[in-house]
Amino acid sequence: MAENSSNKGGDLRRITWIWVVVSVVGEVLFWTLLAKHVPPGRMTETAQSSQSTFNLLMGLAMPVLFGVWVYMAYASRVWSDKRNPNAAMSGPNARNNSRTSVAWITITSVVVLFLAVVGTIGVIQDHGSGGGEGPNPVWNPPGATQAETAALAGTATWSPGSDKVLPVQVIAQQWRFTYRYPTFGGFESQQLILPADTTIAFNVTSLDVIHSFWAYQLGVKADANPLVNNVAYTLTKSPGTFVVRCSELCGIWHGAMTNNGSVVSQSQFMSWAQSTESANATNTALLPAFAWTYVPDANGAAGGYYIDGKVTPYSTVEQYGAKQPAS
Amino acid sequence: MTISAERSTNEMAGTPSAPAHRVTWPQRPGWLSQHLGTALIVGFLGYLFGHWLGNLVAHNYTYIANDGQNTVADFFGLLFMVVGFLGGIGVFNYPLAKIIGRTPEGEHKNRDGWSKYFRYTLDHKVVGIQYIVGVLLFMFTGGLLAMAVRSELLSPTTHLFSPDTYIKIVSEHGTVMMMMATSIIVGPLGNYLVPLMIGARRTAFPRIEAFSFWVFIAGYFVIFSALPLGGFPTGWTGYAPLQTQAGPGMIGYLFGFAVIGVGMMAAGFNIAITIVNFRAPGMTWSRLPIFVWSILATAALLTLATPVLFAAGLFGILDKTAQTAFFVAEHGGSSYLWENLFWFFGHPEVYIMALPGFGIVGELVPVFARKPLFAYKVAAAGMIGVALLSFFVWQHHLFQSGINPDMRPLFMLTTELISIPTGFIFLVGMGTLYRAKIRFEIPMLFCMAVFFNFLIGGVTGVFLSDVPVNVTVHGGFFVLSHFHYTIMGGLLFAFMAGLYFWLPKMTGKMMNRKMGMWHFWTMFVFFNLTFFPMFIIGLLGQPRRVFTYAKGLQGLNDFSSISAYCLGLSFLLFFVNLMWSMFISPEKAPANPWDSLGLEWQTATPVPSHNFDRIPVITTDPYGYGETPTAVPAYAASDSGPTGSTSQT
């Protein structure tokens, strides 16, 4: 029943050594082989933020995982009933060891609070980290609020080298995304083409049910809610292609709600936008006026369910102006 | 001198007074009394009545006339089906008799034999075993649906199901599994063991306890009825306004959760009061078994969080029948209302699923390590901390939804904070294993698997709580794998540990060891092979609930699907073991096969209906392994030795 003093510290020393070796090997392998390739990649500032935060988390998680696994493997081998010639440890230290408990609680608290701080800094620095910030974003890139207000007023412009924010509206409906460009007359396109080295302000809304605009390689994800404008920012860097998928179950064809998009050079984008604007001019004239949200008729999400066909939405642009109440 | 804290147990003793008027019809013996058969019959009749009533009331509503589908009739049908089912089993006999002023006949008085398992019974042990069957019913239904889901995902281009059918299978799988997982430990093991562990004869409200079981079964019928009603397309999260757009099968989901919710509230309420009030003398809070602590924390969550779900379900039903617009933005409602109501319940819900798993490993590891539980107070504090904090983290499910952006750092902080008490179970588990003498029996293997799986699940939860990473991993297979690792890898493995551990006590029969080893290893290996690749699939961009995906991901999806079939076979193996060990070729169990010091093992086998001949006086917690030459069981050995036990070291 007495504590076995012959190798009191020996077990823990051995475990620690094995843990250190395994962790170092794991970290080296991860950082040299995998870290640069961690999704979603490095195409935009928000994608880079997502990747680097993931790598930091992985760097911290690996020692934790290895620590517990090494300990459990050691325990299963060395302290098993069949292999352990000694009785199980007993005495007051078996019930509690305040140093261990305090150390555990302190270390886990410090790590976890550090991660919360890092995450918060990331969200603020990257203007929301590519996630939907709702209709009233708090962390706006410079020039974003002006661009958004101008877009609604119909006076927004963008040109290569202007360093302006490009507002793009994402309209989700069952079961397709379409995109409107208010800086180019508000034409609606099924193609999502974006300029490189530009801050993009995605304004995501839905015409029926909840969807989610997930531009994978851009590191942008924003839910599309009916009658709500959900704003997400990113800063594109180099040209490339990306894929857009719906990531909120929206009905039968949710799995098929996907399209490709591309980031092109600023001049290529300008020529595409201008030519599409003029080519689509007659269609654009038939569309509803550009707005942050669109009020479908009674045949929106609920079909002909509400019989009087009138809609009385909670918040309209007329009632609340360009800002809508936060949810 | 033993203080005998016997409480009046007239129903148990079986001697009601003889009143002038007796309500006798439910108590006829045999087939004509009330049992599952009468419940099914009256429930079916109730469905027909409700459907007829709904048609009568609502056939001339314009939207119903246009639609051709009468959701009001469907709802009333389900409502009266549940009421009829409960009435048929005998839930209303006692209250009705009291209301009309008659002396009620005592409920079914512990008939011997198997018929008591089909009745409304006041014996918490019978309710516990009934729950095992109920939980397995949900599990196998959900499991078959999972096999269908993985089959569809074998190829992104060849489809077994239409997209319509597929999404309904996915939704039903998730909902059935979540309903099962809520009660999987609290129901069977909580109800059976908590009174035994605290030295009580019964729970505080035996009728409410039995009611919680039969309403759980009624809820199964409701959620299952969604399929013939056309299924529902929203997944288990039921987001509006897709739910408003959906067909009548959605009523099965909304009402199913309401019904299950009533059972959850009842069970939680009953167990919490039992633990607070019915502890034996000397059972102070610091001597309470850690499993009971976990059930107490879970019961608090069950009682406090579920009403919000009930309200959300009610609003959804009103939207779909009475044309209100709680969740429909075009008419003044908000899709965010459902999201917030659902997740305000939904997050405590997943801790309802995690905490009992922690309680089981905390209870079992000392027995197999032959050491006291390390840092008991930290373990208990961790359970309370998790339960409290679980109400403050729900918006981490909504980071990208368009919530107030100021909330995101706040909920990131609270979610990171909740991982601190969640981690305590690892401190406690690893500390208990330190320099132990571990017996690798099957329950212990399952406990080690819980630690392994929940570690991965918990750490990936920290990834998800970080907003920049959340942008990539939310809504895809990464989060799906995270919650399968925590709920299935943690809770379900803990349930298996608990079953293998306590079935010898509950039934007097051991589970076959060889089959059990095969079951454990196949379940553990194939579980990890199924779900670990899903982290990678999610990182590579596959959303949840999709029937097609990028061609390059087919290899990983196929690996996952084949492993899932093998995982399904391991469950079949479990079922075969269960049938073999309990019915076909049972092996008698010794009185205390695991040499446990727990109070529940000091009762006779089979446990008599009144549990303890004399209420024991508690002198220590049940973790004194190795602390005296012959470890003293947790009760005072002098006067209150229960009959039929053998003292164990």
Q: Please indicate, yes or no, whether residues A87 and A157 belong to a single structural domain of this protein.
A: no
**Buried (b) or exposed (e) across B166-196, using 16+ Cβ within 10 A?**
bbbbbbbbbbbbbbbbbbbbbbbbbbbbbbb
The confidence score (pLDDT) of residue A96 equals: 92
Would A72 be classed as within a structural domain?
A: yes
Tell me if residue A210 falls in helix, strand or coil. coil
Say whether pLDDT at B631 is over 60. no
Nearest to A173 by CA among A188, A184, A183: A188
Interface test with A, best of B432, B435, B535 (most A CBs within 10 A): B435
Decide which of A76, A95, A114 is a domain's last residue: A95
Eight-state DSSP code of residue B583: I
Could you list the residue range(s) of the whole structural domain that residue A17 is in? 10-95
Contacts of A323 in chain B (CB under 8 A): none
Q: Please indicate, yes or no, whether residues A204 and A292 belong to a single structural domain of this protein.
A: yes
The confidence score (pLDDT) of residue B7 equals: 39
- Closest CA of chain A from B391, distance in Å: 18
The confidence score (pLDDT) of residue A52 equals: 95
Tell me if residue A101 falls in helix, strand or coil. helix
**Contact at 8 Å (CB) between B200 and B371?**
no
What kind and span of H or E run contains A180? strand A176-181
Q: Please indicate, yes or no, whether residues A314 and A216 belong to a single structural domain of this protein.
A: yes
- Closest CA of chain B from A311, distance in Å: 5
Number of domains present in the structure of chain A: 2
Q: Please indicate, yes or no, whether residues A157 and A29 belong to a single structural domain of this protein.
A: no
Contact B468 A209 (CB under 8 A): no
Q: Please indicate, yes or no, whether residues A150 and A279 belong to a single structural domain of this protein.
A: yes
The confidence score (pLDDT) of residue B111 equals: 61
- Closest CA of chain A from B195, distance in Å: 25
For residue range B348-377, what is the model confidence (pLDDT) as tens digits?
999 999 999 999 999 999 999 999 999 999
Do you find a cis peptide bond into B241, omega within 30 degrees of 0? yes
Contact A68 B430 (CB under 8 A): yes
Decide which of A57, A79, A95 is a domain's last residue: A95
Q: Which residues contact B38 (CB under 8 A, 6 or more apart)?
A: B88, B89
Size of interface A-B (CB pairs under 8 A): 346
The confidence score (pLDDT) of residue A301 equals: 58
Contact B245 A303 (CB under 8 A): yes
Would you call B60 exposed, middle or buried from its count of C-beta atoms within 10 A (0-12, 13-18, 19+)?
A: exposed
Query: Whole-angstrom Cα distance, residue B187 to residue A195?
Result: 58
DSSP string, A216-276: TTTTEEEEE-BT--EEEEEEB-S-EEEEEEE-S--SGGGGG-EEEEEEE-HHHHHHHHHHH
Q: What single letter denotes the amino acid at residue B106? A: G
Nearest to B490 by CA among B466, B522, B459: B459
Would A127 be classed as within a structural domain?
A: no
The confidence score (pLDDT) of residue B504 equals: 96
For residue range B104-129, what is the model confidence (pLDDT) as tens digits?
776 655 566 788 899 998 899 999 99
pLDDT band of residue B4 (cuts 50, 70, 90) is very low
The confidence score (pLDDT) of residue A318 equals: 46
- Domain of A316, CATH number, reads 2.60.40.420
Q: What single letter denotes the amino acid at residue A259? A: N
Mean pLDDT of chain A: 89
- What mean pLDDT comes out for the span B300-320? 96
- What mean pLDDT comes out for the span A277-284? 94
Q: What single letter denotes the amino acid at residue B237? A: T
**Contact at 8 Å (CB) between A180 and A188?**
yes
Would A327 be classed as within a structural domain?
A: no
Would A27 be classed as within a structural domain?
A: yes
Say whether pLDDT at A156 is over 80. yes
Tell me if residue A177 falls in helix, strand or coil. strand
Contact A87 B626 (CB under 8 A): yes
Query: Whole-angstrom Cα distance, residue B152 to residue B643?
Result: 56
User: B423 to chain A: nearest residue by CA?
Assistant: A108
Q: Please indicate, yes or no, whether residues A191 and A314 belong to a single structural domain of this protein.
A: yes
**Contact at 8 Å (CB) between A67 and A107?**
no
Say whether pLDDT at A316 is over 50. no
Say whether pLDDT at B181 is over 80. yes
**Contact at 8 Å (CB) between B428 and B375?**
yes
Contacts of A209 in chain B (CB under 8 A): 239, 241-242, 245, 335
User: A3 to chain B: nearest residue by CA?
Assistant: B435
Say whether pLDDT at B45 is over 80. yes
The confidence score (pLDDT) of residue B108 equals: 56
For residue range B404-436, what is the model confidence (pLDDT) as tens digits?
999 999 999 999 999 999 999 999 999 999 999
Q: Please indicate, yes or no, whether residues A76 and A175 belong to a single structural domain of this protein.
A: no
- Closest CA of chain A from B476, distance in Å: 7
**Contact at 8 Å (CB) between A163 and A147?**
no
Q: What is the number of residues in chain B?
A: 649
Domains of chain B: 31-119 (no CATH), 122-588 (1.20.210.10)
Contacts of A145 in chain B (CB under 8 A): none
Interface test with B, best of A247, A292, A315, A316 (most B CBs within 10 A): A247
Contact B167 A95 (CB under 8 A): no
User: A107 to chain B: nearest residue by CA?
Assistant: B420
Contact A95 B376 (CB under 8 A): yes
Please name the residues between 117 and 136 in chain A that touch chain B, using a CB distance below 8 Å: 118-120, 122-124, 126, 128-136
Pairing of strands A187-189, A176-181: antiparallel
Q: Please indicate, yes or no, whether residues A253 and A179 belong to a single structural domain of this protein.
A: yes
Would A137 be classed as within a structural domain?
A: no
The confidence score (pLDDT) of residue B639 equals: 39
Pairing of strands A199-206, A166-173: parallel
Higher-pLDDT residue of A293 and A106 is A106
Contacts of B547 in chain A (CB under 8 A): 255-256
- What mean pLDDT comes out for the span A61-76? 96
What pairs with residue A241 in β-bridges? A262
The confidence score (pLDDT) of residue B485 equals: 98
For residue range B135-164, what is the model confidence (pLDDT) as tens digits?
999 999 999 999 999 999 999 999 999 999
- Count H helices and E strands in chain B, helices first: 21, 2
Which tokens sit at B447?
């406990």
- Chain centroid to Cα A100, Å, comes to 37
Checking A13-19 for CB contacts under 8 A at 24+ apart, the result is: A14/A74, A15/A70, A15/A71, A15/A74, A18/A70, A18/A74, A19/A63, A19/A66, A19/A67, A19/A70, A19/A71
Least confident of A146-150, A244-248, B561-565: A146-150
- Chain centroid to Cα B192, Å, comes to 14
**Contact at 8 Å (CB) between B534 and B543?**
no
Q: Which of B399, B434, B467 sits opposite A89 (nearest CB)?
A: B434
Which tokens sit at B342?
């659902």
The confidence score (pLDDT) of residue B432 equals: 96
Please name the residues between 251 and 310 in chain A that touch chain B, using a CB distance below 8 Å: 251-256, 295-296, 298, 300-307
Checking B222-225 for CB contacts under 8 A at 24+ apart, the result is: B222/B78, B222/B81, B222/B82, B222/B252, B222/B255, B222/B256, B222/B259, B223/B172, B223/B175, B223/B176, B223/B179, B223/B252, B223/B253, B223/B256, B223/B260, B224/B141, B224/B176, B224/B252, B225/B78, B225/B81, B225/B252
Q: Please indicate, yes or no, whether residues A152 and A264 belong to a single structural domain of this protein.
A: yes
Whole-number Cα distances in Å, A15 to A12, B434, B526: 5, 11, 28
Q: Which of A40, A79, A136 sits opposite B433 (nearest CB)?
A: A79
User: A305 to chain B: nearest residue by CA?
Assistant: B63
The confidence score (pLDDT) of residue A309 equals: 57
Crossing angle for the helix pair B407-433 and A98-125, to the nearest 10 degrees: 150
The confidence score (pLDDT) of residue B570 equals: 97
pLDDT band of residue A312 (cuts 50, 70, 90) is low
User: A254 to chain B: nearest residue by CA?
Assistant: B546
Say whether pLDDT at B24 is over 90. no
Q: Which of A72, A123, A220 sits opposite B409 (nearest CB)?
A: A123
- Closest CA of chain A from B18, distance in Å: 55
Contact B420 A109 (CB under 8 A): yes
Interface test with A, best of B445, B469, B553, B630 (most A CBs within 10 A): B469
Contact A314 B334 (CB under 8 A): yes
Nearest to A108 by CA among B411, B426, B360: B426
- What mean pLDDT comes out for the span B321-344? 91
pLDDT band of residue B85 (cuts 50, 70, 90) is very high
State whether residue A223 sits within 8 Å of chain B by CB.
yes
State whether residue A73 sits within 8 Å of chain B by CB.
no
Contact B335 A255 (CB under 8 A): no
pLDDT band of residue B629 (cuts 50, 70, 90) is low
Which tokens sit at B321?
């029948």
Higher-pLDDT residue of A312 and B271 is B271
Eight-state DSSP code of residue B331: G
The confidence score (pLDDT) of residue A230 equals: 95
- Closest CA of chain A from B189, distance in Å: 26
The confidence score (pLDDT) of residue B26 equals: 45
Q: What single letter denotes the amino acid at residue B641? A: G
Decide which of A95, A126, A159 is a domain's last residue: A95
Query: Which phi and psi (to 5°) does residue A80 adopt?
Result: -80, 155
Q: Beta-carbon neighbour count of residue B83 at 10 Å?
A: 18
The confidence score (pLDDT) of residue A313 equals: 56
The confidence score (pLDDT) of residue B632 equals: 52
State whether residue A324 sits within 8 Å of chain B by CB.
no
- Chain centroid to Cα B105, Å, comes to 32
What pairs with residue A195 in β-bridges? A264
- H helical segments located in chain A: 10-29, 45-78, 92-95, 98-125, 144-153, 266-279, 281-286, 317-320
Say whether pLDDT at A121 is over 80. yes
Would A308 be classed as within a structural domain?
A: yes
Q: Please indicate, yes or no, whether residues A177 and A300 belong to a single structural domain of this protein.
A: yes
Would A189 be classed as within a structural domain?
A: yes
Q: Please indicate, yes or no, whether residues A88 and A150 belong to a single structural domain of this protein.
A: no
Least confident of B329-338, B532-541, B567-576: B329-338
State whether residue A141 sits within 8 Å of chain B by CB.
no
Q: Please indicate, yes or no, whether residues A37 and A162 belong to a single structural domain of this protein.
A: no
User: B64 to chain A: nearest residue by CA?
Assistant: A305
For residue range B585-600, what is the model confidence (pLDDT) as tens digits?
999 999 999 999 999 9
Interface test with A, best of B320, B430, B471, B557 (most A CBs within 10 A): B471
Q: Beta-carbon neighbour count of residue B15 at 10 Å?
A: 10
- What mean pLDDT comes out for the span B539-565? 96
Would A101 be classed as within a structural domain?
A: no
State whether residue A90 sits within 8 Å of chain B by CB.
yes
Contacts of B425 in chain A (CB under 8 A): none
pTM of the model: 0.92
Q: Which residues contact B56 (CB under 8 A, 6 or more apart)?
A: none
Whole-number Cα distances in Å, B618 to B274, B359, B548: 17, 20, 60
